[in-house]
Amino acid sequence: MTRTIRLGDDGWSIQILDQSALPREERLLRLASLDDAAAAIRDMKLRGAPLIGVAGAYGLALALRADPSDAGLERARSVLLATRPTAVNLRWAIDDVTAHVAHLPPKERSPAAYARAGAMADDDVAICRRIGEHGLPILRDLAVTARRSPLQVMTHCNAGWLAAIEHGTALAPVYAAHAAGLALHVWVAETRPRNQGHLTAWELGRAGVPHTLVTDSAAGHLFSRGQVDVVIVGTDRTTRGGDVVNKVGTYLKALAARAHGIPFYVAAPGPSIDWTLLRGADVTIEERDPAEVGAPPGTPVSNPAFDVTPADLVTGLITERGVARASVDGLAALYPEKA
Ligand code: MRU
C-alpha cells in the first residue's frame, strides 16, 4: 500500500495501514462505519495530523452513508471531533466536508463527502510534495555551511508518510534531499511513550535513508557534542502567531537547538495552521491514558501527548507555499486570504 488510507475495492469502505501493528507487521484494516473510523483515530490505528484529518473526512462519508439526515450529520461530527482534540486538521477536515454537503439533499450527501475526502487526500499529497521542494534548498545550504557530509538531521515523533498520505511533512525535505543525492543522516528520537520514532526508523529504513534511533533523553548529549546540524519536526497545530504544538518532547529539542545555535524548522502544511488562535497556550493538549507510560501499578501518572514550542524558538515554518517566519506577519504574508 503506497498510501496510508484509500477507498476499498468495494468502492465504499476505507482501507488503512494499521499503525498499531507497525513496525512488527504490515496489516491492513477495513473501516466500514462511523464507529470504526472514530475508533481507529482514537486508538491510534492511524495517527499524524494530516492523516487524522483525511480519516475524519472519510468517517463523515461513512456516517452519511448510514444516516444522511441533519441529525446524522451532527452526531457524526461530534463523535469524530471528540476522538483527538489537538491536531487541528481534524476540525478543519470535518468543517470542510460539512460545508460541502450540508446544503445538499440527504441522498447526495454521502457521495459528495466521499468525493471531498478523496480530493483532500490528493491535496495532501501535493502539499507534502511542495513542502519537500521548499525544504530541500534549506538542507542543501546547511550542508554547505555546516561543512559536513552527511548532514546531521534530527527529528522527533513521526512526521513521515505514515503521518500523512504520502511523502510526509517533516520527512518530505529529507526524502527530497535523499532523492537529490544529498548525503544525510537522521537522528530519530524514540518518542516515548508511544514510540512513534520506531515508525520513523521503519520508514527511513524502507527508503534507504541512513538513520539512528536514540532515546529521547539522548538529544541534549548529541547537541552538546556537535552532532546535530538541523532539527525538522512536524506540527499538529500551529497558531496564526507561529506557536507550534507538536508531539511532547518537541519543546525540549527546540530549547536545546537554540542553546547550541542550531536551526529548528517546522514543516507546517496549511491545514495544520489554526487561524482562530494566536497563542499556543490556548490549545487543548490531549491527555492520554496513563497506562501508556508503563509505570508501576498505583503510581500517579500524567501523560500529555503534545507540547507547545513558542514561535521565537522556530527558525522557519516550511509550508507548501514557501518558508514563513513563525509570526503573525510571516504567516500572513504567505496566506493573505486567511489573515
Ligand atoms: O500522537 P500522534 O502520533 O498523532 O502525533 C503526531 C505528531 O505529533 C506529528 O509530529 C504531527 O502530527 C505532524 S505529522 C505530519
Report d(CA 165, CA 147) in Å as an integer.
34
Instruction: Please tell me the predicted confidence (pLDDT) of residue 330.
Output: 98
Closest by CA position to 169, among listed 204, 136, 208, 129:
129
| Nearest atom in ligand 1 to 157's CA | 10
Report d(CA 247, CA 244) in Å as an integer.
10
Q: What is the DSSP letter of 163?
A: G
Q: Who lines ligand 1 at CB under 6 A?
A: 47-50, 87, 157, 159, 163-164, 168-169, 196, 234-236, 246-247, 305
Instruction: Please tell me the predicted confidence (pLDDT) of residue 130.
Output: 98
pTM of the model: 0.97
Interhelix angle 171-179/196-207, rounded to 10 degrees, is 20
pLDDT in tens, the chain (339 residues): 579 999 999 999 999 999 999 999 999 999 999 999 999 999 999 999 999 999 999 999 999 999 999 999 999 999 999 999 999 999 999 999 999 999 999 999 999 999 999 999 999 999 999 999 999 999 999 999 988 899 999 999 999 999 999 999 999 999 999 999 999 999 999 999 999 999 999 999 999 999 999 999 999 999 999 999 999 999 999 999 999 999 999 999 999 999 999 999 999 999 999 999 999 999 999 999 999 999 999 999 999 999 999 999 999 999 999 999 999 999 999 999 998
Output the CA–CA distances (angstroms, integers) from residue 171 to 67, 105, 201, 231, 267, in the order listed: 39, 41, 11, 11, 9
- The catalytic residue positions are 236
Dist. CA 297 → ligand 1 center (Å): 28
Instruction: Please tell me the predicted confidence (pLDDT) of residue 287.
Output: 97
Q: What are phi and psi of 246, to 5 degrees?
A: -150, 180
- Residue closest by Cα to atom 5 of ligand 1: 48
Dist. CA 166 → ligand 1 center (Å): 14
| Nearest atom in ligand 1 to 234's CA | 13
Report d(CA 193, CA 191) in Å as an integer.
6
Q: Could you tell me if 190 and 198 are in contact, meaning their C-beta atoms sit under 8 angstroms apart?
A: yes
Q: Could you tell me if 319 and 134 are in contact, meaning their C-beta atoms sit under 8 angstroms apart?
A: yes
Best of 89, 235, 288 for a ligand 1 pocket test (most atoms within 8 Å of beta carbon): 235
Instruction: Please tell me the predicted confidence (pLDDT) of residue 1.
Output: 54
Dist. CA 162 → ligand 1 center (Å): 10
Best of 54, 90, 158 for a ligand 1 pocket test (most atoms within 8 Å of beta carbon): 158
Dist. CA 317 → ligand 1 center (Å): 16
**Strands across the sheet with 28-31, in order?**
5-7, 14-17, 28-31
Q: Could you tell me if 139 and 182 are in contact, meaning their C-beta atoms sit under 8 angstroms apart?
A: yes
Output the CA–CA distances (angstroms, integers) from residue 53 to 116, 131, 165, 227, 232, in the order listed: 12, 18, 10, 35, 21
